[in-house]
Amino acid sequence: MGPRSGRGLYLGRRAAALLAALLLALLAALLALAALHGRCRREAPPSPAPAAPGPAAPPGPAPASGSSGRRLPRHLLPLHYDLELWPRVRPGEAGPFAFSGQVNITVRCRQDTDAAVLHSSGLRSGAAAVRGPLPEAGAAVEVVGLRQEEGEVAVLELRGRLRAGRRYVLQLGFQGLLKEDLDGLFLTRYTDQGRSSMLIASQLEPTYARTVYPCFDEPAMKATFNIRIVHDPSYVALSNMPAIDVSEMKDENGSLWTVTTFNTSLKMPTYLTAFVICNFDYVTRTERGNEIRIWARKEAVKNGYVDYALSITGPIFSFLEDLFNISYPLPKTDLVALPDFGAGAMENWGLMTFQESSLMYLPSDKFTSRKAMIAIIVSHEIGHQWFGNLVTMNWWNDLWLKEGLASYFECLGAMFVEPKLSLDKIFYDHVVQPVLREDNEIGVRSLSESEDKFKGSFSLMALFDSITYNKGASITWMLSGFLSEKLFFRALTLYLEEFSFSNANQDDLWSHIQMVVDSQDEVKLPAPVKQIMDSWTCQNGFPVLTLNLTTGTISQEQFLNKKNENSTDSYNNTWIIPISWMRNGSSQPLMWLDKSNKVFPEMQVSESEYDWILLNVNISGYYRVNYDQLNLKRLVHLLENDPKSIPAVSRFQLIDDVFALTQFGYIQIETALELTKYLAREDELFIWNMVLLNLVPENLESTLKNYEVYPLLKKYLLKRMLPIYHYYAGFIRQNVDALEGDYFAQVYLEKLFETACWLGLQDCLNLSSELYAKWMDNPEYKIPFFIRRTVCCYGISMGSEKEWNFAWEMYNHTDSTKEDKDILLSAMSCAKESWLLYRYLQYGLSDTLFSSNCTSIIILYVVTKDIGHRIAWEFVTENWPLLGERYGKELLHDVLKVMGRFVNTDVQIQELQVFYNVTLEEDERVATTLLLELTKSENMERRELLIKVASWLQKNVDD
């Protein structure tokens, strides 16, 4: 399944972590609302709950959001499912809708039992029977009762006993409600060619199969499936395997239905079963006998929006087949672009599903960043066909075995079909660096946990996070690096061959890698593979290495906030660490640190300032490096004189490490700032993006303008930014199409230009005004998408009512995309005239113009702007009763919390506290008061930090 923090120099350390978590939680909530209800659309009232579909046992409790539920006893082992699903949906009907079905599960009894226990959640059970033992004709075991128990479990009570070693068939009818919640079997509505339509799809990972049909819903309980879907004749039905028969039947009212029967599946877990019933078109091609079809809305297919995805899917399959030397075992693969899909993408065997935006590329779009995103997502899901589908983890505690490995191979597959992309830059920037920012707190879990930790109501969805995906990919990258790709891929082939159509845990992977290591003499390891890798997967966090050049000593400790160093784990905070390094520009043999500290005589340096050491070259290891002052001074000198002598990814890592070390109290801020002196000679946008996110965090831009550091920072940064700014500004003015192959320009130019305008660079302000005026003169003109947000913001900021009114007009234009609307929604808060901002907030109150979630977003946008904070504050306090009545307290409380993030003085904090005390309930005041206390702490820490920054800038601003 596809997954996918703020950072900054000026955030207090302890306060920053908690405040950032609150902000991210709010943004996630708002984004979820936008995804579910449509960005700023009027929402339809919820449909009434449908009546029960028929008499039978009461339904089980509603599914607990992907909870692990109760583990099943191992008395019965499923071998095969015969499954019929019948969603009672007709085009044009309003609903509510239900579905019914029948499942016959062939099981092998492993231990005598008088009950059959399996998963079922939210279903109403129909008739139940048990046939067998097989193959005795007519044999049966009487079912005396069927009850639902806690833990999403159904129990068939039997009068006789099922005998060990014999086979039986459990026969169960079931009925359920077809909801629109994007989990289990769900219905979604969309528009195609101007007409409203519906489709039915499924998302069963991790534990939603039990909400669709009674089953043994655990990854190790694999079986084969014969699936049959009954549906309206105007729809086509898809499942994991090719359809082998399409027939007709009539229901009890004589109405005609189509029955699509599918071929027998391969052995697979329940979470990979998949169903789509739709009225889509498709494009197709065949690659090495694999029939590939990409399904989407008719309009999208006609316009060629899925042609790019079709062109890369087959080559990625072939690339991975050749890499593993294992053929894809299915005869067909369907990829379906769903207009609304919560998971982003899902790797169901033979029937992959995607959020529409993850699969569609407009042929008129010349730029590669969109292609790169599609290539990465498609590669991720194709990688799962081997890691997850062919070989499945025993239990969810080793989820990283599929998600981490798929996240590693997503980059390799994307680079294969888009060779202009830089693998090491993208991998570190998109995969490693974000998780290093999260995997540094004591409470963060380890990559692999014992099964005992995932019981009962534990939400398995919590495992689908950056630790599983990004850290899993990062340690895979490191493993591949110290083994060599040749040995690593050879070991993976052995692993896949051994456990095909079966299950494995991480020790199985380690043992097969060990086999390959033992069979050769080229690569020598300091310890068994399991011992090395368990130090990375079985404890949380990662190490920081401290290098002393005078003695050649390297020590390690867990990278944690210096104020919170207490940690308990079985490895005593030590890792077995591969150290790639270079000396004076020359690569050196790999070293290993296998204890808390160790002397490496090779790393002692001479007195020459040209004698320097660089560790973790190109981020080959999952750790940070803290150099002593001697080496840092030499690296600063090197960067100022010959920055290209350090590889680009290592420059990124070096600067990112020092800012992270500063934030966590390992080094002083002045040390980090020294490494920015060279930036006038830095031409890599992905490095500039990281620097600017540290020096000018997006959520503190308006705050920084209130301190004396701003004019110093402006002078210091602009002097260094001008070369790279003018380089790209030239392209934008004269030949923007020349950037179509520059991935990082398309991803990160926005931050560079936005910062240049924020710092008041006149050329940036003029360029924004020029491009915005060009758009106003010709609404068909397209502002380059990668600076569109900045241009719209500063075009309005530098303009007057005329520019604002044009944005409002374009926002309400029927042809505006969701992305365009979001950009304009933000840009309209950039106005410099107070009355325009107040009018904008008043517009937000109109229930005919905006929905409730959009109103809160408008307030949030305004509150973050230079002059907007006070205006938003006054607006909220004046309109609190109306806002509370119309939109409910929940969203408004979120707004108040975020407003607390942008207070800058203790007087403002006191004012906010008084308002909280008047408007909030007692329990709500506790949480907001805590937030304000953290804000006060952060303000004190920020003032102290900015005094140091200003002092350093005063001494260095003219260098």
pLDDT of residue 564: 60
pLDDT of residue 42: 30
Cα–Cα distance for residue pair 926/943, rounded to 1 Å: 26
Mean pLDDT (10-residue bins), the chain, 959 residues: 42 31 32 34 30 37 59 96 97 92 98 96 95 93 94 94 97 96 94 93 96 97 98 98 97 95 98 98 96 97 96 98 97 96 93 95 82 95 98 96 97 93 87 92 85 73 93 97 96 98 98 98 96 95 95 95 56 86 95 95 90 94 96 96 95 96 93 96 95 82 74 94 97 92 90 94 97 96 93 96 96 80 94 95 82 77 85 86 72 64 70 77 75 75 85 91
DSSP state of 877: H
pLDDT of residue 565: 52
Cα–Cα distance for residue pair 227/244, rounded to 1 Å: 11
CA atoms 399, 404, 407, 413: torsion sign: negative
pLDDT of residue 3: 53
pLDDT of residue 903: 66
- SS3 of 317, please? helix
pLDDT of residue 166: 97
| DSSP output for 798-835 | TS-HHHHHHHHHHHT-TT--HHHHHHHHHHGGG-SSHH
Cβ neighbours around 730 below 10 Å, total? 11
List the one residue out of 682, 686, 691 whose CA is nearest residue 742: 686
Residues 6+ apart with CB under 8 A from 724: 682, 683, 685, 688, 752
pLDDT of residue 907: 76
pLDDT of residue 57: 41
pLDDT of residue 15: 31
- SS3 of 155, please? strand
- SS3 of 28, please? helix
pLDDT of residue 417: 95
List the one residue out of 623, 617, 670, 669 whose CA is nearest residue 645: 617
Q: Pairing state of beta strands 97-109 and 167-178?
A: antiparallel
Cβ neighbours around 134 below 10 Å, total? 14
- How many Cα atoms within 13 Å fall on the side-chain side of residue 136? 11
Cβ neighbours around 770 below 10 Å, total? 14
Cα–Cα distance for residue pair 216/214, rounded to 1 Å: 7
With b for 16 or more beta-carbon neighbours within 10 A and e for fewer, the 659-696 pattern comes to bbbbbbebbebebbbbbbbbbeebebbbbbbbbbbbbb
pLDDT of residue 212: 98
DSSP state of 602: G
Q: Pairing state of beta strands 332-338 and 351-355?
A: parallel
Cα–Cα distance for residue pair 670/664, rounded to 1 Å: 14
State the amino acid at position 858 in one-letter form. Answer: I
pLDDT of residue 561: 80
Q: Using omega within 30 degrees of 0 as the cis cutoff, is the peptide bond preceding 331 cis?
A: no
Cα–Cα distance for residue pair 538/448, rounded to 1 Å: 5
Tokens representing residue 380 in the block: 């991720």
Cα–Cα distance for residue pair 150/472, rounded to 1 Å: 33
Cα–Cα distance for residue pair 296/361, rounded to 1 Å: 12
pLDDT of residue 14: 29
Q: What residues act catalytically? A: 381, 469
| DSSP output for 429-485 | IIIIHHHHTTTTSTTSPPSS--GGGS-EEEEGGGGSSHIIIIIHHHHHHHHHHHH-H
Which parts of 150-193 are beta strand (E)? 153-162, 167-178, 184-192
Tokens representing residue 929 in the block: 């008061």
List the one residue out of 5, 13, 10, 29 whose CA is nearest residue 897: 29
Residues 6+ apart with CB under 8 A from 385: 317, 320, 328, 347, 349
Q: Using omega within 30 degrees of 0 as the cis cutoff, is the peptide bond preceding 206 cis?
A: yes
How wide is the angle at C-alpha 33 spanned by C-alphas 31 and 37, nearest 5°? 125
Look up tokens 């969701």; give the residue: 818
